Amino acid sequence: MLRFLPRQPAWLLTIAFCLLTACGGGSGSTTPTPPPAPQPLQVQITAASQNELSAPVQFAPTVSNGAGQSLQYAWNFGDGQTSTSERPEHRYTAGGNYQVTLTVSNTTGSASSTLPIQVGYFAGVAGQDCTGAKPGQGWCRQSPQPTAKDFISIKMTTNKVIWALANQNTVVRSTDGGASWFSKRVPTSAKLSAITAIDANTAWVVGSNGFESHTKDGGTTWVRGNMPANTPDLMAIGAIRDGSTLWATGSSSAVLKSTDGGASWTGQSLDTDANCTLWSVSAVDAGNAWLAGPDCIARTTNGGAHWTRSDGFNVRSISAVDANTAWVAKLASIEKTTDGGKTWVSQVSRTLNGTGIGAQYTSIAAVDLNTVFAADFSGFIIKTTDGGNSWKDQSPPEAFTCCQNPHFSVLSAFDASSAVVGGREGVIYASTDGQSWASKNRSIFSPANTDIRSIAVFDANHAVVPIGGYGMVHYTENGGVDWQRQASPRALDCAHAITRLNATTALGLGCGTLLKSTDQGKNWQSTFIGSGQLNALSVVNENTYWAAGEYGTITRTSDGGATWTAAAGTLPRITFRDIYAVDEQNVWAVGDYETLVHTTDGGKTWAIKTANTILNGYSAVIALNANTAWVTHSSQSLMVTNDAGATWSKVNTGVDDLLLTLATLDGKVLWAAGVNGRIVRSEDSGKTWSVQDSGTNDYLFAIRLIDNNTAWVTGANGTILKTATAGK
């Protein structure tokens, strides 16, 4: 029997339906998805890592603000100054390393970021060859360009790209035909001997104990190749154009080949019992290569699986164009083969151009079957365009000028018009027409190198150096990027000391003469002081200076150099090397025979300490006050006194080399430099010292400070170094 329920109200049916569906019940119900939580704040600081002290530093934030709320900014610039701007700019009043912190906040929270930056005088070191891990850090070489060191290998890969290797593992590169240069020391203890390259980015070097390294970024970084164990000294390397196949050669008949761009190397045999020294290689293609040295010439036509040897005598360089045709430069002749080395025919006489001077050929570069360049040690460049039947002299005008011989030792040619030659003391010439040659060494003291014994520094941009022997000074107005040449009194030729008097005025001592410039070193006036050589000058103020030198001379002026008065009392008749005036009353001077003199009453009386040995002496002195002074000693390196010179103790600087110059601004940060390129620095008044990499082995004679992070150093062979990062 069917039963019918009474009709139900609509609202009750709705409730029942909702109980069985998503309205509030039943097995098919779902929970609404909550909205996503706001992402936490994230922030990063954007700013240049190196910033010029004279310009404001620009800061910008990069913020991840998922909530989209308004932000508050709190900057701390690391020097006690702050800002609440979103994109502030800040001007630092002192150079150094700073930790910049930014805190960003909104109603949901906050986030912080810290960025280290450097502030200093970086304009003068930008793009220079520096010793630090990053550009502009450490000690940067400013002149000459590309180098003052002897060139020992060179390679031209296009009519603009030049690579060269100089002493002390210095690699230089130009991509504009020598108008400008990049310089970099390859970091290795091996002694490098040769370089080759295929383009502006890719080059290889080899050296002692089987060392090989290559770069693919224009010389910025170098990667060492995997040479077999016990590989002897390598002296030459050659690469074919694709950069995959290379040969390296050296002592003890060493021949090694790479087919993977230098990543790995395998040894090859000359198939001879001869012990050849192979210091030249010419790679023609993957199958053909030629090797040469003072006793051997060898050729392969099958990639080095077999080498055919012929005798060589005094061979300096070899250059080949195919499997049969090659030229060699010997000590007194140039020879050619067209039959794969079976026979060699002499092509050039022993005497050059009717001069009566015997030839000393050093390098040869064959462009094709007809065009060949050759270089001579005395400064001659010759060229043939008819396969050697006739040769034409192309020597630059400077060749065989007295005392300034170019001394060419290496040569490379790209084509019949483009070639480059290099040699002693950084001399380098290039040709763009295959006929005339122009110097490409932008040395500040062309045409010859000399020592730079002193420097006057006015500020981070302006400095001047005297160039001994040429009646010249060179000055810079852009921090050392460029140096301008200016004639000067001959007395500056023997200047051992020049120094800053004020922002525009420099003083110098030379040959018994006081020299003065009021235009930052461009023009000089001279005043005779005495017949003896004066070696050292110390400035107290605008009017008072002290000078010291030969024959026990110590003299003083109180009227800006118009008149001079010899120091009172009897002083040792020795040569004083340095003098340092703390103020008008307190003066120290040092010299030969371990002589040190000190006055605290303006020179009326002197405390004198000297020894009876000619072997030891002092070369430099700086003082903090009447009691504390530091001196450089010929056998003890660096010494300090804290009792007005009564006793002295040796300072452990980390080096025992002779130090020649000292500098300080505040008595807390001390610098010293000397022989073998040594530079040391202390930040705690000499208690502890750090040894710095100067990038040179040249003697360093003078150091001048702008602040505790910025300094110039000058030395032998035209060395000028600058740091904007405290040498670190």
What would the pLDDT profile of 475-525 be if each residue is shown by its tens digit?
A: 999 999 888 888 777 777 777 789 999 999 999 887 778 889 999 999 988
DSSP 675: G
Region of poorest pLDDT, from 39-43, 205-209, 275-279, 624-628 = 39-43
Closest of 144, 166, 168, 169 to residue 154, by C-alpha: 166
Structure tokens belonging to residue 164: 């060269």
How many angstroms separate the CA atoms of 265 and 226, rounded? 6
- Confidence at 396, pLDDT banded by 50, 70, 90: confident
How many angstroms separate the CA atoms of 580 and 631, rounded? 11
Residue 386 resides in a domain = no
Per-residue pLDDT, 481: 84
Final residue before a domain boundary, out of 528, 549, 572: 528
110 near 104, Cβ under 8 Å? yes
Go through 431-451 and write b for each residue having 16 or more CB atoms within 10 A of its CB, e for each that does not: beebeebebbbbbbbbeebbb
CA 403 to chain centre: 28
3-class secondary structure, 579: strand
> Do 197 and 114 sit in the same domain of this protein?
no
pTM summary value: 0.75
Residue 480 resides in a domain = yes
> Do 116 and 193 sit in the same domain of this protein?
no
CATH number reported for the structural domain that contains residue 52 in this entry: 2.60.40.10
How many angstroms separate the CA atoms of 329 and 143, rounded? 33
Contacts of 492 (CB under 8 A, 6+ apart): 466, 471, 473, 498, 508, 510, 515, 524
> Do 105 and 214 sit in the same domain of this protein?
no
Residue 170 resides in a domain = no
Which residues constitute the domain of residue 481? Answer: 453-528
Q: How large is the C-alpha radius of gyration of the chain? A: 35
pLDDT reading at 48 higher than 70: yes
How many angstroms separate the CA atoms of 428 and 163, rounded? 12
Torsion of CA 227, 288, 158, 372, to 10 degrees: 120
Rounded to 5 degrees, φ, ψ at 675 are -70, 160
Residue 138 resides in a domain = no
> Do 215 and 105 sit in the same domain of this protein?
no
> Residue 9's CB: how many other CB atoms inside 10 A?
8
Contacts of 637 (CB under 8 A, 6+ apart): 650, 651, 653, 655, 656, 657, 658, 659
CATH number reported for the structural domain that contains residue 463 in this entry: 2.40.10
Dihedral over Cα of 121, 126, 131, 132: its sign:
positive
> Do 197 and 286 sit in the same domain of this protein?
yes
315 near 329, Cβ under 8 Å? yes
Residues above pLDDT 70, as percent of the chain: 89
Final residue before a domain boundary, out of 312, 329, 359: 312
How many domains does the chain contain in total? 3
pLDDT digit string, tens, across residues 400-428: 544 455 789 999 999 999 999 999 888 89
How many angstroms separate the CA atoms of 700 and 675, rounded? 6
pLDDT digit string, tens, across residues 260-319: 999 999 999 886 666 889 999 999 999 999 999 998 899 999 999 999 888 777 899 999
Residue 234 resides in a domain = yes
Per-residue pLDDT, 2: 40
* Strand 690-692 with 280-283, pairing: unpaired
Longest Cα–Cα distance in the chain? 149
Residue 204 resides in a domain = yes
How many angstroms separate the CA atoms of 118 and 121, rounded? 10
pLDDT reading at 660 higher than 50: yes
Q: What is the average per-residue pLDDT within 146-155?
A: 90
> Do 113 and 193 sit in the same domain of this protein?
no
How many angstroms separate the CA atoms of 478 and 473, rounded? 16
> Do 201 and 304 sit in the same domain of this protein?
yes
Rounded to 5 degrees, φ, ψ at 462 are -115, 130
Closest of 641, 602, 586, 584 to residue 618, by C-alpha: 641
Strands (E), 121-233: 129-130, 140-143, 151-156, 162-166, 170-174, 182-185, 192-197, 203-207, 211-215, 223-224
pLDDT digit string, tens, across residues 192-220: 999 999 999 999 999 999 999 999 999 98
> Do 195 and 299 sit in the same domain of this protein?
yes
How many angstroms separate the CA atoms of 672 and 631, rounded? 10
Rounded to 5 degrees, φ, ψ at 535 are -105, -25
Residue 197 resides in a domain = yes
Final residue before a domain boundary, out of 484, 508, 528: 528
Residue 605 resides in a domain = no
How many angstroms separate the CA atoms of 544 and 556, rounded? 7
> Do 103 and 210 sit in the same domain of this protein?
no
> Do 113 and 200 sit in the same domain of this protein?
no
CATH number reported for the structural domain that contains residue 193 in this entry: 2.130.10.10
pLDDT digit string, tens, across residues 333-389: 899 999 999 999 988 765 555 455 667 899 999 999 999 999 988 888 999 999 998
